[in-house]
Amino acid sequence: MRTKISIIRFAFILAAAFLSGSVFPSGSSFAGQVHVIQLNDDTINPVTADYISKSIDRAETENAECLVIELDTPGGLLTSTRTIVKAMMASRVPVVVYIYPGGSHAGSAGVFITYASHVAAMAPSTNIGAAHPVDIGGGQKKQRNVWDTLKDVVNEEKKKKEKTPTAVKEKEEEDPLSSKVLNDTVAFIKAMAKERGRNMEWAEESVTKSVSITEQEALSKRVVEVIAKNEEDLLAQLDGRVVKVSGSNKTLKTKDADVRRIAMNGRQKFLNTLANPNVAYLFFILGFYGLLYEVTHAGAGLPGVVGTIFIILALFSMQLLPTNYAGLALIILAIVLFIAEAKIAGFGLLALGGIVCMILGSLMLFDSTVPMMRVSLSLVLSLTLTTAAITIFLVRLVILSHNKKIVSGKEGLIGEIGHADTNLLPEKEGKVFVHGELWNATASEHIRKDEKVTVVKAEGLTLTVKKV
Protein backbone atom coordinates (compact mmCIF):
# COMPACT_ATOMS: atom_id res chain seq x y z
CA MET A 1 0.00 0.00 0.00
CA ARG A 2 2.83 2.36 0.95
CA THR A 3 4.60 1.47 -2.31
CA LYS A 4 1.53 2.49 -4.35
CA ILE A 5 1.28 5.78 -2.45
CA SER A 6 4.98 6.48 -3.10
CA ILE A 7 4.56 5.82 -6.82
CA ILE A 8 1.57 8.13 -7.00
CA ARG A 9 3.43 10.83 -5.04
CA PHE A 10 6.44 10.50 -7.35
CA ALA A 11 4.16 10.84 -10.38
CA PHE A 12 2.67 14.05 -8.96
CA ILE A 13 6.14 15.47 -8.23
CA LEU A 14 7.34 14.60 -11.75
CA ALA A 15 4.26 16.21 -13.34
CA ALA A 16 4.71 19.37 -11.27
CA ALA A 17 8.39 19.55 -12.24
CA PHE A 18 7.53 19.12 -15.89
CA LEU A 19 4.92 21.88 -15.79
CA SER A 20 7.27 24.23 -14.00
CA GLY A 21 10.00 23.66 -16.59
CA SER A 22 12.56 22.03 -14.24
CA VAL A 23 12.63 18.76 -16.19
CA PHE A 24 12.80 20.35 -19.67
CA PRO A 25 13.98 23.91 -19.09
CA SER A 26 13.43 26.60 -21.65
CA GLY A 27 17.03 26.49 -22.82
CA SER A 28 17.04 22.74 -23.58
CA SER A 29 17.07 21.22 -27.07
CA PHE A 30 13.70 19.50 -26.74
CA ALA A 31 11.67 20.16 -29.90
CA GLY A 32 8.10 19.43 -30.88
CA GLN A 33 6.46 19.31 -34.29
CA VAL A 34 7.01 21.52 -37.28
CA HIS A 35 4.09 21.63 -39.70
CA VAL A 36 4.91 22.07 -43.40
CA ILE A 37 2.48 22.97 -46.19
CA GLN A 38 3.21 23.49 -49.89
CA LEU A 39 1.92 25.91 -52.49
CA ASN A 40 3.62 24.51 -55.55
CA ASP A 41 3.08 26.81 -58.54
CA ASP A 42 -0.44 27.50 -57.21
CA THR A 43 -2.31 30.76 -57.63
CA ILE A 44 -3.62 32.57 -54.58
CA ASN A 45 -7.38 32.01 -54.59
CA PRO A 46 -10.13 31.36 -52.03
CA VAL A 47 -9.15 27.67 -51.84
CA THR A 48 -5.48 28.29 -51.09
CA ALA A 49 -6.54 30.98 -48.60
CA ASP A 50 -8.73 28.40 -46.83
CA TYR A 51 -5.85 25.88 -46.91
CA ILE A 52 -3.39 28.27 -45.27
CA SER A 53 -5.89 29.60 -42.71
CA LYS A 54 -6.93 26.11 -41.59
CA SER A 55 -3.28 24.98 -41.47
CA ILE A 56 -2.53 27.87 -39.09
CA ASP A 57 -5.50 26.88 -36.90
CA ARG A 58 -4.31 23.28 -36.87
CA ALA A 59 -0.75 24.28 -35.95
CA GLU A 60 -2.14 26.33 -33.04
CA THR A 61 -4.37 23.47 -31.87
CA GLU A 62 -1.53 20.93 -31.97
CA ASN A 63 1.00 23.34 -30.38
CA ALA A 64 3.45 23.12 -33.27
CA GLU A 65 6.77 24.93 -32.99
CA CYS A 66 6.03 26.71 -36.24
CA LEU A 67 4.27 26.42 -39.58
CA VAL A 68 6.47 26.43 -42.68
CA ILE A 69 4.83 27.51 -45.96
CA GLU A 70 6.88 26.36 -48.95
CA LEU A 71 5.86 29.00 -51.46
CA ASP A 72 6.01 29.17 -55.25
CA THR A 73 3.28 31.37 -56.73
CA PRO A 74 2.86 33.81 -59.62
CA GLY A 75 0.18 35.70 -57.69
CA GLY A 76 -3.58 35.64 -57.44
CA LEU A 77 -6.56 37.48 -56.00
CA LEU A 78 -6.18 40.48 -53.72
CA THR A 79 -9.18 39.48 -51.56
CA SER A 80 -7.69 36.02 -50.95
CA THR A 81 -4.30 37.58 -50.20
CA ARG A 82 -5.84 39.78 -47.52
CA THR A 83 -7.53 36.73 -45.95
CA ILE A 84 -4.18 34.92 -45.74
CA VAL A 85 -2.36 37.97 -44.36
CA LYS A 86 -4.98 38.48 -41.63
CA ALA A 87 -4.65 34.85 -40.53
CA MET A 88 -0.84 35.10 -40.46
CA MET A 89 -0.75 38.38 -38.57
CA ALA A 90 -3.14 37.01 -35.92
CA SER A 91 -1.42 33.62 -35.67
CA ARG A 92 -0.32 32.40 -32.22
CA VAL A 93 2.19 30.08 -33.93
CA PRO A 94 5.23 31.41 -35.82
CA VAL A 95 4.69 31.25 -39.57
CA VAL A 96 7.75 30.78 -41.76
CA VAL A 97 7.47 31.47 -45.50
CA TYR A 98 10.12 29.59 -47.48
CA ILE A 99 10.36 30.38 -51.20
CA TYR A 100 11.38 26.93 -52.37
CA PRO A 101 12.61 24.99 -54.37
CA GLY A 102 15.25 26.61 -56.60
CA GLY A 103 13.69 28.44 -59.54
CA SER A 104 10.58 29.36 -57.56
CA HIS A 105 9.10 32.86 -57.50
CA ALA A 106 6.99 34.75 -55.00
CA GLY A 107 5.26 37.19 -57.29
CA SER A 108 2.60 39.81 -56.54
CA ALA A 109 0.46 38.16 -53.84
CA GLY A 110 3.49 36.09 -52.80
CA VAL A 111 5.29 39.28 -51.73
CA PHE A 112 2.48 40.18 -49.31
CA ILE A 113 2.41 36.67 -47.87
CA THR A 114 6.20 36.70 -47.44
CA TYR A 115 6.09 40.09 -45.69
CA ALA A 116 3.35 38.87 -43.33
CA SER A 117 5.47 35.93 -42.11
CA HIS A 118 7.34 35.88 -38.81
CA VAL A 119 10.44 34.57 -40.61
CA ALA A 120 11.02 34.84 -44.37
CA ALA A 121 13.42 32.49 -46.13
CA MET A 122 14.48 31.81 -49.71
CA ALA A 123 16.26 28.99 -51.47
CA PRO A 124 19.14 29.65 -53.88
CA SER A 125 18.12 30.67 -57.44
CA THR A 126 14.74 32.07 -56.36
CA ASN A 127 13.32 35.58 -56.65
CA ILE A 128 10.64 37.77 -55.16
CA GLY A 129 8.84 40.92 -56.29
CA ALA A 130 6.47 42.63 -58.72
CA ALA A 131 3.68 43.24 -56.24
CA HIS A 132 1.73 45.83 -58.25
CA PRO A 133 -2.02 45.52 -57.53
CA VAL A 134 -2.74 44.77 -61.22
CA ASP A 135 -0.88 41.51 -60.74
CA ILE A 136 -3.06 40.24 -57.93
CA GLY A 137 -6.44 40.25 -59.52
CA GLY A 138 -7.77 43.57 -58.34
CA GLY A 139 -7.40 47.30 -58.55
CA GLN A 140 -6.67 47.62 -62.23
CA LYS A 141 -5.85 51.12 -63.36
CA LYS A 142 -8.60 51.08 -65.91
CA GLN A 143 -11.23 48.67 -67.15
CA ARG A 144 -9.47 46.19 -69.40
CA ASN A 145 -11.05 45.51 -72.75
CA VAL A 146 -10.54 42.76 -75.30
CA TRP A 147 -7.73 44.61 -77.07
CA ASP A 148 -5.79 44.99 -73.81
CA THR A 149 -6.09 41.28 -73.19
CA LEU A 150 -5.14 40.38 -76.76
CA LYS A 151 -2.13 42.67 -76.52
CA ASP A 152 -1.01 40.98 -73.28
CA VAL A 153 -1.23 37.55 -74.88
CA VAL A 154 0.70 38.61 -78.00
CA ASN A 155 3.42 40.28 -75.91
CA GLU A 156 3.67 37.24 -73.67
CA GLU A 157 4.10 34.91 -76.66
CA LYS A 158 6.66 37.30 -78.16
CA LYS A 159 8.70 37.33 -74.94
CA LYS A 160 8.65 33.53 -74.82
CA LYS A 161 10.01 33.28 -78.37
CA GLU A 162 12.68 35.94 -77.91
CA LYS A 163 13.59 34.67 -74.44
CA THR A 164 14.10 38.24 -73.27
CA PRO A 165 13.73 39.52 -69.69
CA THR A 166 10.43 40.93 -68.61
CA ALA A 167 9.75 44.03 -70.66
CA VAL A 168 9.49 47.43 -69.01
CA LYS A 169 5.88 48.13 -68.26
CA GLU A 170 4.34 50.83 -70.42
CA LYS A 171 2.92 53.88 -68.72
CA GLU A 172 -0.80 53.73 -68.21
CA GLU A 173 -3.25 56.53 -67.82
CA GLU A 174 -3.91 57.21 -64.17
CA ASP A 175 -7.41 57.57 -62.79
CA PRO A 176 -8.73 58.28 -59.28
CA LEU A 177 -9.82 54.68 -58.64
CA SER A 178 -6.43 53.21 -59.51
CA SER A 179 -4.67 55.79 -57.33
CA LYS A 180 -6.85 54.85 -54.36
CA VAL A 181 -6.17 51.14 -54.87
CA LEU A 182 -2.43 51.74 -55.29
CA ASN A 183 -2.19 53.93 -52.18
CA ASP A 184 -4.19 51.41 -50.17
CA THR A 185 -1.94 48.57 -51.32
CA VAL A 186 1.22 50.52 -50.47
CA ALA A 187 -0.11 51.28 -46.99
CA PHE A 188 -1.09 47.61 -46.61
CA ILE A 189 2.42 46.26 -47.28
CA LYS A 190 4.22 49.06 -45.39
CA ALA A 191 2.19 48.26 -42.28
CA MET A 192 3.31 44.64 -42.49
CA ALA A 193 6.92 45.66 -43.11
CA LYS A 194 6.89 47.86 -40.01
CA GLU A 195 5.33 45.12 -37.87
CA ARG A 196 7.84 42.48 -39.01
CA GLY A 197 10.87 44.80 -39.12
CA ARG A 198 11.49 44.47 -42.85
CA ASN A 199 12.53 46.91 -45.58
CA MET A 200 9.65 49.36 -46.09
CA GLU A 201 11.28 51.21 -49.00
CA TRP A 202 11.70 48.08 -51.11
CA ALA A 203 8.16 46.95 -50.25
CA GLU A 204 6.82 50.24 -51.61
CA GLU A 205 8.93 49.95 -54.77
CA SER A 206 7.71 46.41 -55.32
CA VAL A 207 4.14 47.71 -55.40
CA THR A 208 4.65 50.98 -57.26
CA LYS A 209 7.45 49.98 -59.67
CA SER A 210 6.99 46.19 -59.85
CA VAL A 211 10.66 45.57 -58.98
CA SER A 212 11.90 42.02 -58.44
CA ILE A 213 15.09 40.81 -56.71
CA THR A 214 17.08 37.61 -56.16
CA GLU A 215 17.56 35.82 -52.84
CA GLN A 216 20.98 37.45 -52.20
CA GLU A 217 19.59 40.92 -52.85
CA ALA A 218 16.56 40.13 -50.68
CA LEU A 219 18.85 39.12 -47.80
CA SER A 220 21.01 42.23 -48.09
CA LYS A 221 17.95 44.51 -48.33
CA ARG A 222 16.30 42.96 -45.23
CA VAL A 223 13.40 41.56 -47.25
CA VAL A 224 14.12 38.04 -45.94
CA GLU A 225 16.11 36.78 -42.97
CA VAL A 226 17.37 33.38 -44.13
CA ILE A 227 18.79 31.72 -47.25
CA ALA A 228 18.53 27.94 -46.91
CA LYS A 229 19.57 25.24 -49.40
CA ASN A 230 16.82 22.82 -48.34
CA GLU A 231 14.33 22.05 -45.60
CA GLU A 232 16.95 20.55 -43.24
CA ASP A 233 19.15 23.61 -43.63
CA LEU A 234 16.16 25.85 -42.97
CA LEU A 235 15.21 24.08 -39.71
CA ALA A 236 18.82 24.17 -38.56
CA GLN A 237 19.03 27.93 -39.11
CA LEU A 238 15.65 28.53 -37.47
CA ASP A 239 16.69 26.67 -34.32
CA GLY A 240 17.28 29.12 -31.48
CA ARG A 241 15.89 32.11 -33.38
CA VAL A 242 13.71 34.41 -31.27
CA VAL A 243 10.52 35.65 -32.93
CA LYS A 244 7.75 37.88 -31.69
CA VAL A 245 4.38 36.10 -31.67
CA SER A 246 1.20 37.64 -30.26
CA GLY A 247 3.15 40.30 -28.38
CA SER A 248 5.66 37.95 -26.70
CA ASN A 249 8.98 36.45 -27.70
CA LYS A 250 9.31 32.80 -28.56
CA THR A 251 12.49 30.79 -29.12
CA LEU A 252 12.16 28.29 -31.95
CA LYS A 253 13.33 24.72 -31.31
CA THR A 254 13.37 23.19 -34.74
CA LYS A 255 16.70 21.39 -35.09
CA ASP A 256 15.42 17.94 -34.08
CA ALA A 257 11.74 18.66 -34.60
CA ASP A 258 9.35 16.11 -36.04
CA VAL A 259 8.39 17.41 -39.50
CA ARG A 260 4.73 16.85 -40.30
CA ARG A 261 3.50 17.63 -43.81
CA ILE A 262 -0.08 18.87 -44.04
CA ALA A 263 -1.53 18.32 -47.50
CA MET A 264 -4.78 19.72 -48.87
CA ASN A 265 -7.78 17.55 -48.08
CA GLY A 266 -9.81 16.00 -50.88
CA ARG A 267 -12.30 18.86 -50.99
CA GLN A 268 -9.58 21.51 -51.16
CA LYS A 269 -7.70 19.63 -53.90
CA PHE A 270 -10.88 19.35 -55.98
CA LEU A 271 -11.81 23.02 -55.55
CA ASN A 272 -8.24 24.13 -56.22
CA THR A 273 -8.36 22.19 -59.49
CA LEU A 274 -11.57 24.01 -60.39
CA ALA A 275 -9.86 27.34 -59.65
CA ASN A 276 -7.70 26.80 -62.75
CA PRO A 277 -8.85 29.04 -65.67
CA ASN A 278 -8.08 26.33 -68.24
CA VAL A 279 -10.17 23.79 -66.32
CA ALA A 280 -13.09 26.23 -65.95
CA TYR A 281 -12.98 27.05 -69.67
CA LEU A 282 -12.71 23.39 -70.70
CA PHE A 283 -15.65 22.42 -68.45
CA PHE A 284 -17.79 25.19 -69.94
CA ILE A 285 -17.10 24.04 -73.51
CA LEU A 286 -17.59 20.35 -72.65
CA GLY A 287 -20.88 21.24 -70.96
CA PHE A 288 -22.01 22.97 -74.14
CA TYR A 289 -21.07 19.87 -76.17
CA GLY A 290 -23.19 17.70 -73.88
CA LEU A 291 -26.24 19.98 -74.10
CA LEU A 292 -25.84 20.34 -77.88
CA TYR A 293 -25.76 16.57 -78.33
CA GLU A 294 -28.85 16.20 -76.13
CA VAL A 295 -30.75 18.79 -78.22
CA THR A 296 -29.75 17.25 -81.53
CA HIS A 297 -30.34 13.65 -80.34
CA ALA A 298 -33.49 13.92 -78.24
CA GLY A 299 -33.89 11.17 -75.65
CA ALA A 300 -30.18 10.40 -75.21
CA GLY A 301 -30.35 11.57 -71.58
CA LEU A 302 -26.80 11.00 -70.35
CA PRO A 303 -25.04 13.69 -72.46
CA GLY A 304 -27.55 16.29 -71.24
CA VAL A 305 -27.02 15.36 -67.58
CA VAL A 306 -23.23 15.31 -67.89
CA GLY A 307 -23.29 18.58 -69.86
CA THR A 308 -25.39 20.28 -67.18
CA ILE A 309 -22.95 19.11 -64.46
CA PHE A 310 -20.00 20.49 -66.45
CA ILE A 311 -21.75 23.84 -66.92
CA ILE A 312 -22.49 24.10 -63.18
CA LEU A 313 -18.87 23.24 -62.30
CA ALA A 314 -17.63 25.81 -64.82
CA LEU A 315 -19.86 28.54 -63.35
CA PHE A 316 -18.65 27.62 -59.86
CA SER A 317 -15.04 27.87 -61.05
CA MET A 318 -15.74 31.32 -62.47
CA GLN A 319 -16.83 32.45 -59.00
CA LEU A 320 -13.30 31.61 -57.76
CA LEU A 321 -11.61 33.53 -60.58
CA PRO A 322 -11.55 37.17 -61.77
CA THR A 323 -14.20 36.50 -64.42
CA ASN A 324 -15.07 39.13 -67.01
CA TYR A 325 -18.67 38.39 -67.94
CA ALA A 326 -18.37 40.40 -71.16
CA GLY A 327 -16.02 37.63 -72.31
CA LEU A 328 -18.58 35.00 -71.31
CA ALA A 329 -21.26 36.88 -73.30
CA LEU A 330 -19.00 36.88 -76.38
CA ILE A 331 -18.53 33.09 -76.10
CA ILE A 332 -22.31 32.57 -75.91
CA LEU A 333 -22.76 34.90 -78.91
CA ALA A 334 -20.20 32.82 -80.81
CA ILE A 335 -22.20 29.65 -80.15
CA VAL A 336 -25.38 31.37 -81.40
CA LEU A 337 -23.55 32.39 -84.59
CA PHE A 338 -22.34 28.82 -85.16
CA ILE A 339 -25.93 27.54 -84.90
CA ALA A 340 -27.16 30.31 -87.20
CA GLU A 341 -24.52 29.35 -89.77
CA ALA A 342 -25.86 25.81 -89.81
CA LYS A 343 -29.47 26.99 -90.30
CA ILE A 344 -28.95 29.93 -92.65
CA ALA A 345 -26.89 30.11 -95.79
CA GLY A 346 -24.45 32.63 -94.41
CA PHE A 347 -21.68 31.70 -96.86
CA GLY A 348 -19.30 31.23 -93.91
CA LEU A 349 -19.59 34.81 -92.63
CA LEU A 350 -21.58 33.82 -89.54
CA ALA A 351 -19.11 31.04 -88.74
CA LEU A 352 -16.20 33.46 -89.16
CA GLY A 353 -17.92 35.95 -86.86
CA GLY A 354 -18.47 33.16 -84.32
CA ILE A 355 -14.80 32.17 -84.42
CA VAL A 356 -13.68 35.78 -83.87
CA CYS A 357 -16.16 36.27 -81.01
CA MET A 358 -15.12 33.03 -79.32
CA ILE A 359 -11.39 33.75 -79.53
CA LEU A 360 -11.78 37.29 -78.20
CA GLY A 361 -14.28 36.24 -75.52
CA SER A 362 -12.01 33.41 -74.37
CA LEU A 363 -8.98 35.69 -74.11
CA MET A 364 -10.85 38.27 -72.02
CA LEU A 365 -12.85 35.72 -69.99
CA PHE A 366 -10.52 36.00 -66.99
CA ASP A 367 -9.37 39.56 -66.38
CA SER A 368 -5.80 39.26 -65.10
CA THR A 369 -2.28 39.96 -66.35
CA VAL A 370 -0.94 36.88 -64.53
CA PRO A 371 -0.51 34.19 -67.25
CA MET A 372 -1.72 31.42 -64.92
CA MET A 373 -4.94 33.34 -64.32
CA ARG A 374 -5.85 33.36 -68.04
CA VAL A 375 -6.87 30.68 -70.51
CA SER A 376 -4.04 29.21 -72.57
CA LEU A 377 -3.96 30.61 -76.12
CA SER A 378 -3.38 27.15 -77.64
CA LEU A 379 -6.41 25.78 -75.77
CA VAL A 380 -8.52 28.72 -76.96
CA LEU A 381 -7.63 28.21 -80.63
CA SER A 382 -8.07 24.43 -80.61
CA LEU A 383 -11.42 24.48 -78.78
CA THR A 384 -12.74 27.36 -80.88
CA LEU A 385 -12.18 25.54 -84.16
CA THR A 386 -13.45 22.26 -82.68
CA THR A 387 -16.59 23.93 -81.31
CA ALA A 388 -17.31 25.62 -84.64
CA ALA A 389 -16.94 22.35 -86.56
CA ILE A 390 -19.00 20.22 -84.14
CA THR A 391 -21.81 22.77 -83.77
CA ILE A 392 -22.23 23.40 -87.49
CA PHE A 393 -22.01 19.67 -88.29
CA LEU A 394 -24.55 18.51 -85.66
CA VAL A 395 -27.09 21.30 -86.26
CA ARG A 396 -26.91 20.87 -90.04
CA LEU A 397 -27.37 17.11 -89.61
CA VAL A 398 -30.55 17.71 -87.61
CA ILE A 399 -31.90 20.18 -90.19
CA LEU A 400 -31.26 17.74 -93.06
CA SER A 401 -32.96 14.91 -91.18
CA HIS A 402 -36.03 17.12 -90.57
CA ASN A 403 -36.22 18.07 -94.24
CA LYS A 404 -35.83 14.49 -95.44
CA LYS A 405 -38.91 12.94 -97.03
CA ILE A 406 -40.87 10.57 -94.76
CA VAL A 407 -41.00 7.05 -96.20
CA SER A 408 -43.19 5.22 -93.66
CA GLY A 409 -46.77 5.54 -92.34
CA LYS A 410 -49.53 7.65 -93.89
CA GLU A 411 -47.18 10.62 -94.26
CA GLY A 412 -44.99 8.44 -96.45
CA LEU A 413 -47.78 8.21 -99.06
CA ILE A 414 -47.69 11.95 -99.79
CA GLY A 415 -46.28 12.42 -103.30
CA GLU A 416 -46.52 8.71 -104.19
CA ILE A 417 -47.68 7.79 -107.73
CA GLY A 418 -50.47 5.25 -108.34
CA HIS A 419 -53.44 4.73 -110.65
CA ALA A 420 -57.23 5.01 -110.34
CA ASP A 421 -58.91 1.64 -109.83
CA THR A 422 -62.34 3.21 -110.48
CA ASN A 423 -63.66 6.40 -111.94
CA LEU A 424 -63.30 9.33 -109.50
CA LEU A 425 -65.79 12.23 -109.42
CA PRO A 426 -65.61 15.40 -107.29
CA GLU A 427 -68.74 14.41 -105.38
CA LYS A 428 -68.10 10.66 -105.29
CA GLU A 429 -65.49 8.54 -103.53
CA GLY A 430 -63.65 5.89 -105.53
CA LYS A 431 -60.66 3.56 -105.29
CA VAL A 432 -56.97 4.05 -106.12
CA PHE A 433 -54.06 1.66 -106.13
CA VAL A 434 -51.01 3.23 -104.40
CA HIS A 435 -47.89 1.68 -102.93
CA GLY A 436 -49.14 -1.85 -103.62
CA GLU A 437 -52.39 -1.28 -101.70
CA LEU A 438 -56.00 -0.36 -102.53
CA TRP A 439 -57.20 2.86 -100.89
CA ASN A 440 -60.42 4.88 -100.73
CA ALA A 441 -59.84 8.12 -102.57
CA THR A 442 -61.44 11.47 -103.42
CA ALA A 443 -60.50 14.05 -106.03
CA SER A 444 -61.53 17.59 -106.91
CA GLU A 445 -61.59 16.70 -110.60
CA HIS A 446 -62.88 13.91 -112.86
CA ILE A 447 -60.37 11.05 -113.07
CA ARG A 448 -60.95 8.02 -115.28
CA LYS A 449 -60.11 4.47 -114.36
CA ASP A 450 -56.43 3.48 -114.89
CA GLU A 451 -55.28 7.12 -115.11
CA LYS A 452 -52.13 7.94 -113.13
CA VAL A 453 -52.63 9.89 -109.89
CA THR A 454 -50.46 11.35 -107.15
CA VAL A 455 -51.37 11.54 -103.47
CA VAL A 456 -51.65 15.07 -102.05
CA LYS A 457 -53.25 14.33 -98.66
CA ALA A 458 -53.99 11.42 -96.32
CA GLU A 459 -56.79 11.46 -93.74
CA GLY A 460 -57.58 8.22 -91.96
CA LEU A 461 -58.04 5.54 -94.62
CA THR A 462 -58.98 8.02 -97.37
CA LEU A 463 -56.52 9.64 -99.74
CA THR A 464 -56.96 12.86 -101.69
CA VAL A 465 -55.42 12.55 -105.16
CA LYS A 466 -54.98 14.46 -108.37
CA LYS A 467 -53.99 13.66 -111.93
CA VAL A 468 -50.33 13.35 -112.68
Q: Tell me which of 104, 108, 206, 317 is the catalytic residue.
A: 108
Burial class (CB in 10 A: 0-12, 13-18, 19+), 261: exposed
60-to-49, 64, 267, 378 alpha-carbon distances in Å: 17, 6, 22, 45
Q: With b meaning 16 or more CB within 10 Å and e meaning fewer, what string describes 54-68?
A: bbbebbeeeebbbbb
Closest residue by Cα to residue 277 from 333, 335, 322, 334: 322
466-to-205, 437, 459 alpha-carbon distances in Å: 91, 17, 15
| Catalytic (active site) residue 108 | yes
DSSP 371: G
Number of helices (H), then strands (E), belonging to the chain: the values are 15, 16
334-to-132, 151, 199, 326, 384 alpha-carbon distances in Å: 34, 21, 50, 12, 9
Distance of alpha carbon 282 from alpha carbon 266, whole angstroms: 21
437-to-109, 328, 405, 411 alpha-carbon distances in Å: 81, 58, 20, 15
Q: 3-state SS of 45-73?
A: CHHHHHHHHHHHHHHHHCCCCEEEEEEEE
Vertex 94: Cα angle to 91 and 95 (nearest 5):
85
Handedness of CA 182, 128, 264, 272 (dihedral sign): positive
DSSP string, 77-120: -HHHHHHHHHHHHT-SS-EEEEE-STT-EEETHHHHHHHHSSEE
Closest residue by Cα to residue 98 from 213, 233, 196, 192: 233
Distance of alpha carbon 48 from alpha carbon 136, whole angstroms: 14
Longest dimension (CA), the chain: 133
DSSP 127: E
Q: Tell me which of 180, 209, 343, 449 is the catalytic residue.
A: 180
* Residues annotated catalytic, as ranges: 108, 180
